[in-house]
Amino acid sequence: VIPLLGALSTNLEIHIVTADTFGCAAKNLRELPVKLTILPPDRQDQGKADYLRQLGAQSAVCVGNGRNDLLMLRDAALGICVTEAEGACIQTLQAADIVCRHATDALNLLLNPKRLIATLRM
């Protein structure tokens, strides 16, 4: 994930808004040009949605898998649910535009836009 975030950061402004459940976000991201926001434990779903609104939901891509990601994925211009090893909240999965197995798959979609076209075309 780290090299992909680095590649994306050359063209995109990256914000990581996290509950930091495992307590390693700051350490893992310290050398990347990203803005890290660790949310307090109360109302994280609303905190993520509010952050997204301040950024501009109409031009944001959001990636997540937890219940606290549901509003953010629903409101983003593009919401990507990743299942990862821990799985995903079913309501969050349903709120997303795309579902990927891994965060690397989601980030690679952004690096290879034709994949997005193939997935989202009508």
Residue 75 burial (C-beta neighbours within 10 Å; 0-12, 13-18, 19+): middle
For residue 111, the enclosing domain spans 2-120
Instruction: Name the band, by pLDDT with cuts 50, 70 and 90, for residue 5.
Output: very high
Q: Give the number of other CB atoms < 10 A from CB of residue 28.
A: 15
Instruction: Quote the DSSP letter at residue 31.
Output: T
Total domains present in the chain: 1
Half-sphere exposure of 88 (CA within 13 A, CB side): 24
Give strand pairing partners of 37.
17
- Give the residue-averaged pLDDT of 19-23: 92
CATH of the domain at 71: 3.40.50.1000
Instruction: Name the band, by pLDDT with cuts 50, 70 and 90, for residue 57.
Output: very high
